[in-house]
């Protein structure tokens, strides 16, 4: 079934009925700060205009029923305290993760009928899964007349996502919830904060798909979790309690010296150097954005890709070729975005250059690829608003 309007889809699925609420949760693109949120370090994503849109109706029982307008079928389960995940990669797991998160945070309640339509490409490093988790969490809270704060949501959502197997951080949920139109979000952890950093009006971004998929909830899951473990082992071996403490006021030269002297395992050394170097690049990128220094910002993106490729080893041949093609096409910077191992790159240039860079990518990367679908694989993206933006946050259903 392919229906673009979730409210219409809900009517088709359940018939006409009670009060309906539409909730929108955007995908996100990380500009810089990769594989460091789970070490408590700041990251700089934007929310996309592309989003998951879900129409909800509250039910009188504990059933959760959902239909996908994108061909993923229907799902139905009872909301119980100890939900178990189903088959790896199945979208029902994100609904269950939301039900579990809400149950743990605020108790079980009535279920929902829901219809979901999304234009966020799945398995692309654009957080389509977190957007589903966020939308269903907000939908269940709305149905149960709960009003909760951003901070409260952030206490349950990252943990909730680990239910599906990845031990990521809180970047996706924070960006999906709290982003502001026209801004990047500097997200810090412990304590949690989000600072909206205005993006200069003449800066443009393309999200380019490598045409290889990153099934993070499937095969790449172990790889993803291994990066986190490597970074943690390095930290423990050097005797630090956190990466923030390890970085302190140190330069990249001092951090490299410390890693060479204290870490004999190359995997741990590389994980440590990527993590610390990336944290310093995020700081520099925020400064460059605030000062409107496009060349410097682009250079930092490019360095970030090199670090992800050479140190953390989360790139792949297709992503490397795509990033190279973007640079040859005249981008100021490009890098893989999200978990890696496939999926998308973020390509940065001045808005006036977008058409030229896009044409260059079509010629250099996508030519002769029958699987390339322009509206899905090469997206010009404006920084959009998060799900909690005024006007998008749902009010609880009226009490009758």
Write out the catalytic residue numbers: 172
Instruction: Give the Cα separation of 366 and 373 in Å (integer).
Output: 9
Per-residue binding string, ligand NG1, 129-168, x by CB under 6 A, is -x------------------------------x----x-x
* Choice between 14 and 176, CB closer to ligand NG1: 176
- By CB under 6 A, residue 209 contacts ligand NG1: no
The CB-of-337 to ligand NG1 minimum distance in angstroms stands at 7
* Choice between 125 and 397, CB closer to ligand NG1: 125
* Choice between 20 and 210, CB closer to ligand NG1: 210
Instruction: Give the Cα separation of 376 and 122 in Å (integer).
Output: 10
- By CB under 6 A, residue 93 contacts ligand NG1: no
- By CB under 6 A, residue 298 contacts ligand NG1: no
The CB-of-34 to ligand NG1 minimum distance in angstroms stands at 4
Total residues contacting ligand NG1 (rule CB under 6 A)?
17
The CB-of-277 to ligand NG1 minimum distance in angstroms stands at 14
Q: Which two tokens stand for residue 29?
A: 């693109």
Q: Which residues pair with 32 in a beta bridge?
A: 44
Instruction: Give the Cα separation of 271 and 340 in Å (integer).
Output: 15
Question: From residue 70, how far is each of 14, 22, 76, 246 by CA, in Å?
Answer: 17, 17, 17, 45
- By CB under 6 A, residue 278 contacts ligand NG1: no
Contact region for ligand NG1 (CB under 6 A) — 65-73, 84-92, 124-132, 177-185?
124-132
Q: Which of 6, 26, 125, 231 binds ligand NG1 (CB under 6 A)?
A: 125
| Contact in structure between 26 and 384 (CB atoms under 8 Å) | yes
The CB-of-394 to ligand NG1 minimum distance in angstroms stands at 23
Instruction: Give the Cα separation of 138 and 58 in Å (integer).
Output: 12
Q: What is the pairing mode between strands 344-350 and 193-198?
A: unpaired
Tell whether omega for the bond before 41 is within 30 degrees of 0, i.e. cis.
Answer: no
The CB-of-138 to ligand NG1 minimum distance in angstroms stands at 17
The CB-of-134 to ligand NG1 minimum distance in angstroms stands at 11
- Residue at shortest CB range from ligand NG1: 168
Q: What is the pairing mode between strands 183-188 and 193-198?
A: antiparallel
Instruction: Give the Cα separation of 143 and 232 in Å (integer).
Output: 39
The CB-of-104 to ligand NG1 minimum distance in angstroms stands at 17
| Contact in structure between 24 and 53 (CB atoms under 8 Å) | yes
- By CB under 6 A, residue 353 contacts ligand NG1: no
Per-residue binding string, ligand NG1, 304-343, x by CB under 6 A, is ----------------------------------xx----
- Interface of this chain with ligand NG1, residues 29 to 68, rule: CB under 6 A: 30, 34-35, 37-38
**How many helices (H) and strands (E) are present in the chain, helices listed first?**
13, 11
- By CB under 6 A, residue 127 contacts ligand NG1: yes
Per-residue binding string, ligand NG1, 214-253, x by CB under 6 A, is --x-------------------------------------
* Choice between 57 and 216, CB closer to ligand NG1: 216
User: 179: closest CA among 195, 203, 200, 155?
Assistant: 195
Q: Which two tokens stand for residue 306?
A: 């090199």
- Interface of this chain with ligand NG1, residues 166 to 195, rule: CB under 6 A: 166, 168-169, 171-172
The CB-of-5 to ligand NG1 minimum distance in angstroms stands at 26
DSSP conformation letters of 295-357: HHHHHHHHHHHHHHHHTS----HHHHHHHHHHHHTT-SEEEE-SS-SSSEEEEEEEGGGHHHH
Instruction: Give the Cα separation of 395 and 310 in Å (integer).
Output: 47
CA atoms within 13 A on the CB side of 181: 5
User: 174: closest CA among 362, 46, 280, 336?
Assistant: 46
Binding site for ligand NG1 (CB under 6 A): 30, 34-35, 37-38, 125, 127, 130, 161, 166, 168-169, 171-172, 216, 338-339
């Amino acid at each position: 079934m392919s229906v673009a309007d979730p409210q219409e889809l809900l009517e088709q699925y359940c018939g006409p009925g009670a009060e309906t609420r539409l909730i929108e949760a955007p995908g996100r693109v990380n500009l810089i700060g990769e594989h460091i949120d789970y070490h408590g370090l700041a990251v700089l994503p934007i929310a996309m205009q592309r989003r998951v849109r879900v129409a909800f109706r509250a039910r009188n029982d504990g059933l959760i029923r959902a239909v996908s307008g994108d061909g993923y079928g229907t799902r139905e389960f009872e909301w119980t305290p100890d939900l178990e995940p189903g088959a790896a990669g199945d979208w029902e797991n994100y609904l269950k993760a939301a039900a579990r998160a809400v149950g743990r945070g605020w108790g079980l309640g009535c279920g929902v009928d829901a219809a979901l339509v999304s234009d966020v490409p799945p398995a692309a490093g654009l957080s389509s899964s977190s957007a589903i988790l966020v939308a269903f969490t907000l939908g269940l809270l709305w149905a149960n007349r709960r009003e909760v704060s951003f901070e409260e949501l952030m206490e349950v959502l990252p943990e909730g996502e680990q239910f599906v197997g990845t031990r990521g951080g809180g970047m996706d949920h924070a960006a999906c919830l709290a982003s502001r139109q026209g801004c990047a979000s500097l997200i810090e952890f412990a304590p949690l904060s989000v600072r909206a950093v205005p993006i200069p009006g003449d800066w443009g971004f393309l999200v380019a798909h490598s045409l290889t998929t990153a099934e993070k909830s499937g095969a790449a899951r172990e790889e993803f979790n291994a990066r986190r473990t490597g970074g943690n082992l390095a930290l423990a071996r050097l005797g630090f309690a956190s990466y923030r403490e390890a970085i302190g006021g140190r330069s990249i030269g001092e951090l490299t010296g410390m890693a060479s002297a204290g870490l004999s395992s190359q995997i741990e050394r590389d994980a440590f150097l990527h993590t610390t170097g990336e944290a310093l690049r995020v700081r520099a990128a925020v400064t460059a954005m605030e000062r409107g220094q496009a060349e410097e910002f682009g250079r930092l993106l490019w360095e970030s890709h090199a670090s992800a490729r050479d140190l953390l080893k989360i790139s792949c041949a297709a992503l490397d070729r795509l990033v190279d093609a973007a640079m040859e096409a005249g981008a100021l910077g490009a890098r893989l975005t999200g978990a890696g191992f496939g999926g998308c790159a973020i390509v940065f240039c001045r808005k006036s250059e977008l058409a030229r860079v896009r044409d260059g990518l079509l010629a250099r990367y996508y030519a002769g690829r029958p699987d390339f679908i322009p509206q899905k694989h090469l997206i010009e993206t404006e920084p959009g608003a998060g799900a909690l933006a005024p006007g998008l946050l749902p009010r609880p259903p009226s009490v009758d």
